[in-house]
């Protein structure tokens, strides 16, 4: 179900408030009881430095295991405090970060010959999950444009590497590839205007 812009803005505001309250006061806020926030959806929260746009944290839930409101709150706090690639966000950073929320469709496994997988991937439209050999990795639909990938093969190779697997592993019949789409809402500047970006 496609989200209205106002609901996307509400999710980004929820993410921002969750981060601010937890980082500043150690308080985990509770989600609103609005019906649409109780629908189970996958969601990721991404934090970036402003104005450079460097990644500062990104964590989420690929599958619809949590109500959307709870997923955004949990992902927000984890992106700010528990992304193993970064040190936790400090209170004095909060006004120098932008917040982005991506709401996911349910991932669906590609059903084709492994070598044909690139033919089914639309760069900029799909996100990818790769699972195989005891490893897994996920990249959101917006990642290729942010890093300059233009082909499905580059995107697949990048997702393999995110999983800790070698490039090209996506052509292995023992590796599974799942696709999803995302609705992306982000702040244009810290605490600023929120726009749809997908």
Domain ranges of the chain: 5-105+182-196, 108-180
Q: 5-105+182-196: which CATH number, 1.10.3720.10, 3.40.50.1110, 3.40.80.10, 3.30.700.20?
A: 3.30.700.20
How far apart, in whole angstroms, are the C-alpha atoms of residue 184 and residue 174? 31
The pLDDT assigned to 97 comes to: 98
Per-residue pLDDT of the chain (198 residues; tens, 9 = 90+): 689 999 999 999 999 999 999 999 999 999 888 999 999 999 999 999 999 999 999 999 999 999 999 999 999 999 999 999 999 999 999 999 999 999 999 999 999 999 999 999 999 999 999 999 999 999 999 999 999 999 999 999 999 999 999 999 999 999 999 999 999 999 999 999 999 998
The pLDDT assigned to 1 comes to: 62
Of 77, 63, 45, 40, give the one whose Cα is nearest residue 136.
63
Q: How many CB atoms lie within 10 A of CB 29?
A: 17
Of 191, 151, 197, 194, give the one whose Cα is nearest residue 19.
191
How far apart, in whole angstroms, are the C-alpha atoms of residue 57 and residue 55? 6
Strand, helix or coil for residue 35: helix
> Looking at the domain that runs over 108-180, which CATH code has it been given?
3.30.1490.150
The pLDDT assigned to 33 comes to: 86
């Amino acid at each position: 179900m496609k989200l209205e812009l106002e609901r996307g803005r509400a999710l980004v505001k929820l993410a921002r408030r969750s981060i601010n309250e937890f980082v500043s006061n150690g308080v985990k806020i509770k989600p609103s009881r609005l019906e649409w926030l109780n629908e189970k959806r996958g969601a990721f929260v991404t934090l970036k430095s402003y104005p450079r746009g460097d990644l500062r944290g990104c964590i989420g839930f690929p599958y619809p295991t949590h109500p959307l409101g709870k997923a955004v709150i949990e992902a927000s706090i984890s992106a700010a405090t528990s992304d193993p690639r970064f040190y936790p966000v400090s209170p004095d950073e909060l006004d120098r970060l932008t917040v982005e929320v991506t709401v996911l469709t349910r991932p669906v496994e590609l059903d084709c010959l492994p070598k044909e997988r690139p033919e089914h991937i639309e760069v900029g439209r799909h996100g990818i999950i790769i699972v195989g050999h005891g490893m897994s990795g996920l990249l959101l639909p917006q990642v290729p444009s942010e890093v300059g990938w233009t082909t499905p093969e580059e995107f697949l190779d990048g997702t393999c590497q995110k999983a800790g697997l070698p490039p090209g592993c996506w052509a292995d019949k023992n590796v599974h590839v799942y696709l999803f789409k995302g609705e992306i809402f982000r702040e244009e500047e810290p605490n600023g205007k929120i726009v749809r970006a997908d």
